[in-house]
């Protein structure tokens, strides 16, 4: 009948709150010296990746999701992203180490977002940025997610956690192929 489901409204409120709380004026940056090279960032990711995954896996599983560590971003793609988006500053590429939390319901996804927010308020991890592509930044492909850029316990290393619904993940491969073509055309 066109009415918003209560769980969807709660989820929208959580996304709005997180985006408001964790939207710095500048994109997050790993704690590296200015003009650091890509190898230093990859070394930092290698050193801190396990701690990042350990900190993020537990709340995703507790919330009823599946935790899927992603592949580490390759040096060439880091350099492209740094050049295209951050004026060459590789330390601003904060999705070198990444994972996806996959959920079967909005309620479980929302509960996990709230749990991650609580962990941040307790100082167990630091959310450096929240990007809401469910409501605020929808993509034409139909793909949706919420991305949290997280630093674990003062390491200076920031990684990415995408949170999503299983049904949307099913279209991700197709949407990502379109994204790859668009990116190649822009280059």
d(CA 99, CA 163): 9
Chain centre distance of CA 92: 13
| Per-residue pLDDT band at 180 (split at 50, 70, 90) | low
Structure confidence by residue, pLDDT tens digits, 104-157: 999 999 999 999 999 999 988 899 999 999 888 777 667 789 999 999 878 899
| Per-residue pLDDT band at 171 (split at 50, 70, 90) | confident
pTM of the model: 0.88
| Per-residue pLDDT band at 181 (split at 50, 70, 90) | low
Average pLDDT, the chain: 89
Number of H helices, E strands in the chain: 5, 5
Q: What is the pLDDT of residue 160?
A: 98
Structure confidence by residue, pLDDT tens digits, 151-163: 987 889 999 999 9
Higher pLDDT, 154 or 84: 84
What are the φ/ψ torsions at residue 132 (nearest 5 degrees)?
Answer: -100, 105
d(CA 112, CA 17): 14
């Amino acid at each position: 009948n066109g009415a918003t489901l209560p769980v969807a409204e709660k989820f929208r409120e959580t996304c709005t709150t997180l985006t408001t709380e964790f939207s710095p004026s500048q994109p997050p940056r790993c704690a590296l010296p200015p003009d650091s090279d890509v190898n230093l960032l990859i070394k930092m990711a290698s050193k801190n990746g396990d701690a990042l995954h350990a900190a993020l896996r537990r709340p995703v599983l507790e919330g009823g999701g599946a935790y899927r560590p992603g592949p580490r971003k390759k040096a060439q793609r880091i350099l492209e992203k740094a050049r295209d988006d951050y004026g060459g500053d590789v330390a601003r590429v904060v999705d070198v180490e990444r994972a996806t939390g996959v959920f079967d319901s909005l309620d479980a996804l929302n509960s996990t977002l709230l749990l991650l927010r609580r962990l941040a308020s307790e100082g167990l991890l630091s959310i450096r940025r929240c990007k809401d592509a469910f409501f605020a930044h929808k993509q034409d492909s139909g793909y949706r997610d919420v991305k949290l850029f997280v630093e674990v316990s003062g390491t200076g290393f920031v990684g990415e956690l995408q949170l999503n619904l299983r049904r949307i993940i099913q279209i991700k491969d197709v949407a990502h192929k379109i994204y790859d073509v668009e990116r190649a055309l822009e280059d």
